[in-house]
Every structure is written in structure tokens, then in C-alpha cells.
């Protein structure tokens, strides 16, 4: 029997949406107030959804302590209270929440092996949320 587990985590980070490939005018037209040279911040709500068979002995898809520890060490410590523009993964990529979602998905996919990663979802504001399920998903 396959079941899904979703855990929520919170972190805060800042970013400036700006592409070196565009002119200042194009950046302002594309990103609006999010192109502010001083950046802006968000209190992100991250959801990580994993799946797998329910273990007969534990009754769980995976040990929550393992998932929480992985997310704390590999995601929250990496992104919490950071300027995303200054991180290596965004040196050549605009740190949109879409791209942040993909980056987090890739980290979890590579490193967390206790259950199958289904998706990563990030709520940026009350009005904006983004999710990523991998390249081969529709």
C-alpha cells in the first residue's frame, strides 16, 4: 500500500528578481517592485511530499525524525535568513520562487533516500505558491 506524507517547514530569505541578460527597463517591466535594488524578503512555507509503502512494523512511510533532520540540515540551514542572490545556485539564475522550488527539489531528490520524493511546494505569499514534481512529471 502506497501512502503520501507531507511535512511543512518555515524559513525566511530575501532576494532581488533581476536578470543580467535584460536591460534595467526590461527588468523593471518584467519584475516590477520585485526588482528593487535593495531586494525584499519573504517568510516562505515549504512543503515536502514523499511517498512509499507503509512499513508494517512502524506504520509510517518514513521516519519523520529522518525527514525533519534532512530538511533542517540540507535546506533550512542553507536558505534561512539568506540573500538568495548571493548563493552559488543563483549566480547565473534569477532566484525566483520557481527556481528556488526546483533547487530544493533537486537537493531532496539527491539526498533523501528513505522515501520517494513526490513534490516540493513553496508558499511565497498568501497569494503565490509554486510546486515542482521533477522533469518527467506532467
30, burial (CB in 10 Å: exposed 0-12, middle 13-18, buried 19+): middle
Helix (H, G, I), strand (E, B) or coil at 127: coil
DSSP-assigned letter for residue 89: G
Output the furthest CA–CA distance in the chain (Å, rounded): 60
Please list, in sequence order, all residues whose beta carbon lies within 8 angstroms of the beta carbon of residue 28, skipping any fewer than 6 positions away.
Answer: 35
**Active site includes 15?**
no
Three-state DSSP state, 43:
strand
Tell me how far CA of residue 82 lies from CA of 35, 72, 95, 119, 133, in angstroms. Answer: 17, 15, 12, 23, 25
Q: 4, 81, 98, 131: which is the annotated catalytic residue?
A: 81
Assess whether 81 carries a catalytic annotation.
yes
Annotated catalytic, 34? yes
Options 98, 106, 124, 131, the catalytic residue: 124
Q: Which of 34, 89, 98, 131 is the catalytic position?
A: 34
Active-site annotation, residues: 34, 81, 124
Amino acid at each position: 500500500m502506497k501512502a503520501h506524507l507531507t511535512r511543512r517547514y518555515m524559513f525566511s530569505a530575501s532576494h532581488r528578481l533581476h536578470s543580467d541578460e535584460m536591460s534595467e527597463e526590461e527588468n523593471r517591466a518584467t519584475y516590477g517592485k520585485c526588482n528593487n535594488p535593495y531586494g525584499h524578503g519573504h517568510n516562505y512555507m515549504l512543503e515536502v511530499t514523499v511517498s512509499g509503502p507503509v512499513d508494517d512494523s512502524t506504520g509510517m512511510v518514513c521516519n519523520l525524525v529522518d525527514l525533519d533532520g534532512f530538511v533542517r540540515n540540507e535546506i533550512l540551514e542553507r536558505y534561512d535568513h539568506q540573500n538568495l542572490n548571493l548563493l552559488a545556485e543563483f549566480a547565473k539564475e534569477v532566484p525566483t520562487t520557481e527556481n528556488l522550488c526546483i533547487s530544493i527539489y533537486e537537493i531532496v531528490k539527491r539526498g533523501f533516500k528513505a522515501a520517494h520524493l513526490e513534490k516540493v511546494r513553496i508558499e511565497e505569499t498568501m497569494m503565490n505558491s509554486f510546486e515542482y514534481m521533477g522533469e518527467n512529471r506532467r
